[in-house]
Amino acid sequence: MDNMLHVSSSPHVRAKDSTNRIMAYVILALLPTSLFGIFNFGLKALLLIVLTIASCVATEWVFEKIIHKESTISDLSAVVTGLLLALNLPVTLPWWEAVLGGVFAIAIVKMMFGGLGQNFMNPALGARCFLLIAFAADMTNFVTDTYTGATPLAAMRNGEVINNMDALIGRTAGTIGETSAIAILIGAVILILLGVITLAIPASYLITFVVFMLIFGGHGFDMNYIVAQLCSGGIMLGAFFMATDYVTSPITPKGRIVFGICCGILTGLFRCFGANAEGVSFAIILSNIFVPMIEKMTIPRAFGQVKEKKEGK
């Protein structure tokens, strides 16, 4: 017993999942829709994905160099942000705008607020909205060689009936990663099976959205229309991959459901009454802002706790 023994506070063992393993799981779960996006839109899509990821990782590295902090790029969170951002861009976007989006996502939305875990807004969505405002025309240009028509959501707005099968599979116009509901759902199953997310947020989000659309959608109980709404635009990607972003969603179990409802109502509101056919990004980042308030309102009841506070105060 010549060696020194290690002493630390209990527990003395740890579970396997670490932050970068979880991020790797998310990347894995995003692969189906990423691959479909490349298949659907061609190599330009791959180029944008690579560029935004590189831009996000490089920005984080440079930012931390400048402020003399240890580099955190190995936690893979910047890769996830870059990938998510790319999946939210139209394939026609000039490459430098995509790169700029990556810089904005990391430098402004994430690092300025203290880095991983501190940002109040989903960096990828923050950047997407920034690009949407800064380069409105480029960000809404979904015309490619394959798809010359409007996005399904825009078509529906004009009163057209879209082909639900196309929307489900993803053979439609849209951003790189949002078109295929099936590919996104495969990813969602991966996330759930690996224990990365629970159904709390996506389920409450989607159910609320469906209820909202049934009431205010103007198509009554037309199930075709509801399915078309669910499979089109960013709602699937948003519900499973963006609204579930740990950092920017509530940590309390009830809060997650409230947050999902919030996202659902706002998405419905924006899609039915907004200026654009789409509203998922704004719905989620707006809901992100409510998170601290939602958490405060949903402090869980502790085990064995009896209601007593109400009378006291």
Partner 1 sequence: MGLRTFKGGVHPFEGKELSKDRPVEEYLPGKDLVFPVSQHIGAPAKPVVAVGDAVKKGQLIAEAGGFVSANIYSSVSGTVKAIAPHRVATGDMVNSIVIENDGSYEEVAYEESEVGSLSKEAIIEKVKKAGVVGMGGAGFPTHVKLSPKEPDKIDYIIANCAECEPYLTSDYRRMMDNPELLVGGMKIVLQLFDNAKGVLGVENNKPDCIAKLEEICRDEPRIEVVALQTKYPQGGERQLIKAVTGREINSKMLPADAGCIVDNVETLVCIYRAVKEGKPVMHRIFTVTGDAVKEPRNFYVSVGTNYAELLEAAGGLKEGGAEKMISGGPMMGFSMFDLNVPITKTNSSLLCLSKDDVSHLEPSACINCGRCVEACPELLVPSRLAKQADLKLGEEFEKWNGMECIECGSCSFICPARRPLAQSIKTMKKDILAARRKK
Residues at the contact surface with partner 1, assessed by CB under 8 A:
1, 3-15, 17-19, 21-22, 72, 75, 77, 115-118, 246-247, 249, 251-253, 256, 295, 299-306
> 250 φ, ψ to 5°?
-65, 155
In the complex, what is the shortest distance from the CB of residue 201 to partner 1, in angstroms, rounded to a whole number?
Answer: 10
Q: Tell me, what amino acid is at 107? A: A
Compute the distance between CA of residue 267 and CA of residue 235 in angstroms, rounded to an integer.
8
Rg (CA), the chain: 21
In the complex, what is the shortest distance from the CB of residue 66 to partner 1, in angstroms, rounded to a whole number?
Answer: 18
Residue closer to partner 1 (CB basis): 15 or 67 = 15
Using DSSP, how many helices (H) and how many strands (E) does the chain show? 15, 0
Residue closer to partner 1 (CB basis): 170 or 260 = 260
In the complex, what is the shortest distance from the CB of residue 94 to partner 1, in angstroms, rounded to a whole number?
Answer: 33
In the complex, what is the shortest distance from the CB of residue 98 to partner 1, in angstroms, rounded to a whole number?
Answer: 25
In the complex, what is the shortest distance from the CB of residue 245 to partner 1, in angstroms, rounded to a whole number?
Answer: 9
Instruction: Give Cβ neighbours of residue 85 (< 8 Å, ≥ 6 apart).
Output: 52, 56, 98, 101, 102, 105, 123, 124, 127, 128
Residue closer to partner 1 (CB basis): 32 or 255 = 255
Give the Cβ contact number of residue 257 at 10 Å: 20
In the complex, what is the shortest distance from the CB of residue 285 to partner 1, in angstroms, rounded to a whole number?
Answer: 16
Residue closer to partner 1 (CB basis): 38 or 294 = 294
| Dihedral in degrees, nearest 10, Cα atoms 88, 35, 239, 269 | 40
Across 210-240, b (16+ Cβ under 10 Å) vs e yields bebbbeebeeeeeeebbbbbbbbbbbbbbbb
Compute the distance between CA of residue 302 and CA of residue 228 in angstroms, rounded to an integer.
42
Give the Cβ contact number of residue 112 at 10 Å: 12
In the complex, what is the shortest distance from the CB of residue 45 to partner 1, in angstroms, rounded to a whole number?
Answer: 28
Residue closer to partner 1 (CB basis): 7 or 133 = 7
Compute the distance between CA of residue 125 and CA of residue 105 in angstroms, rounded to an integer.
8
Residue closer to partner 1 (CB basis): 115 or 234 = 115
Compute the distance between CA of residue 259 and CA of residue 197 in angstroms, rounded to an integer.
14
Residue closer to partner 1 (CB basis): 46 or 291 = 291
In the complex, what is the shortest distance from the CB of residue 303 to partner 1, in angstroms, rounded to a whole number?
Answer: 4
Residue closer to partner 1 (CB basis): 156 or 243 = 243
